Amino acid sequence: MLLISRSHTENLMASQPETFTENETTNDVTSEDTKQLTKSEETTVKTLDGKIEEGISSAEEKKGINWFVASMFILGDLVGGGVVAMPVAFVQTGFVLGILFMAIICVIFVITGWLLADTWEIMRERWTEYRKHCRKPFSEMAIRSMNKRMEWAILIAVLCTVVAIGMIFVGISLDFHDCYYATNYPDVSIGAILSLGIFLFAFNGHQVFPTVQNDMRHPTEFKKSLLVGFVFVALLYMPLSVYSFLVYGDSMINSVIDSIQISWIRHVADLAIALHCILTVIITVNPINLQLEDTFHVPDKFCPKRVVVRTGLLLLATFVGLSLPDFGAVMNLFGSTTVPCTCVILPTLFNIYIKAAVYDKQTKTWIKPTFFEVLQRTPKASLSFLVLINGKLKEVAPQLFLESSKITF
């Protein structure tokens, strides 16, 4: 997997004698930062050539989750509505193209999630305030820790999703003999590109990744959690989508559950998906909650203001959900607008900008680079790869947006 290198050009040292790039002054920066760390913080630092890794006090380590539980958090965040909508997307793409879309998007999102985790590690290394609580998790790459109850809620949500998928598989299997031989498979057309919105929406979740990473005992292990989490997501999405498409073909409209002929299986699957969404809504809306609380100056504790803000957000989400009869167009809408920004564009920009920053020994601050400095200091191979990924999404996004605008009431 391709990651952005931390090395920079040696010419920069000659033109800026008082500023230093990350690799060239690792030892100086590390020694100065180490002196500033107090014993009360109980933190340890090691060199950044293996990248400075902030140690956390033993008391904090006991509160954190391990890498496997973190991967379950990722799984709980990503799966949900995509479970029932992903098979329907295969109606537009066909068998081969649908699998290809799913695999490519999964790989791209793993890469950008990796970059996001790398950016968060760098921020924790350079600025001590990001090792503590911050109420604007995604915008500042700092987040708030979760408690043990949240861990159980997410694990139960994942279990509900597995139950739902199991029931859907059983229902499809029971319908196999009645539906398979009468199935019609549509021809693949240029319109298949419009289903990308659903694929992108199904793998959306990067805005929550920093929350999970900060709650770990060892945040540097989040990349392992990321890989395992996306593997689990792919293993849930791909077999279900393929099996549903083979049995039902183009008879699927909005949800694969609606195509299941046995009513009690359909109801159990609906209930399991609903329980999953109820349990995971806490983690998925948490970044928005914290942003709103910061905007309205809500105290960082339980109080009437916090109840009003969070209840108001849930009521707004409920109103939107009840107002829209067809969520396929909504998935395309967000898949063409917010998802590319939060899951691809912003993570790559965060990463290349923070790695292009230089350290000023006089002011003891990191100097933000300009756009042209980023182009100069970023390795050309990595830059070309990131431009390719972002460029392709920008070509597809306008088409998805036009399709998503066709919402009828």
Q: How far apart are CA 273 and CA 293, in angstroms?
A: 29
Q: And the tokens for 358?
A: 């230089």
Q: Regarding predicted confidence, which is higher, 136 or 357?
A: 357
Give pLDDT, residue 240: 82
Choose among 1, 19, 3, 2: nearest CA to 373.
19
Q: Regarding predicted confidence, which is higher, 169 or 129?
A: 129
Mean pLDDT of 350-355: 82
Q: Regarding predicted confidence, which is higher, 242 or 335?
A: 242
Of all residues in the chain, the percent with pLDDT exceeding 90 is 0
Burial environment of residue 373 by CB neighbours within 10 A (0 to 12, 13 to 18, 19 or more): middle
Lowest mean pLDDT among 221-225, 233-237, 332-336: 332-336
Residue 153: pLDDT band by 50, 70, 90 thresholds? low
Q: How far apart are CA 27 and CA 373, in angstroms?
A: 23
Q: And the tokens for 159?
A: 């279990």
Q: How far apart are CA 116 and CA 62, in angstroms?
A: 25
pLDDT tens per residue, range 272-288 = 877 777 777 776 777 77
User: Which residues, other chains included, contact 199 with Cβ-Cβ below 8 Å and sequence gap of 6+?
Assistant: 86, 89, 101, 102, 105, 335
Residue whose entry in the numeric block shows the structure tokens 């959306």: 204
Give pLDDT, residue 269: 81
71 pLDDT higher than 50: yes
Q: Where are the alpha helices (DSSP H) in 40-180?
A: 58-63, 67-78, 81-93, 95-126, 148-179
Mean pLDDT (the chain) is: 68
Choose among 285, 284, 312: nearest CA to 296.
312
Q: Regarding predicted confidence, which is higher, 184 or 289?
A: 289
β-sheet with 19-20: strand ranges across? 19-20, 358-360, 365-367
pLDDT tens per residue, range 50-60 = 344 444 444 44
H or E element at residue 360: strand 358-360
* Domain layout of the chain by residue ranges: 11-404
Mean pLDDT of 300-314: 85
Q: Are 198 and 335 in contact (CB under 8 A)?
A: yes
Residue 37: pLDDT band by 50, 70, 90 thresholds? very low
The torsion angle over the Cα atoms of residues 9, 14, 18 and 22, rounded to 10 degrees, is 10
Give pLDDT, residue 390: 61
Q: How far apart are CA 237 and CA 106, in angstroms?
A: 11
Residue 181: pLDDT band by 50, 70, 90 thresholds? low
Lowest mean pLDDT among 14-23, 175-184, 238-247: 14-23
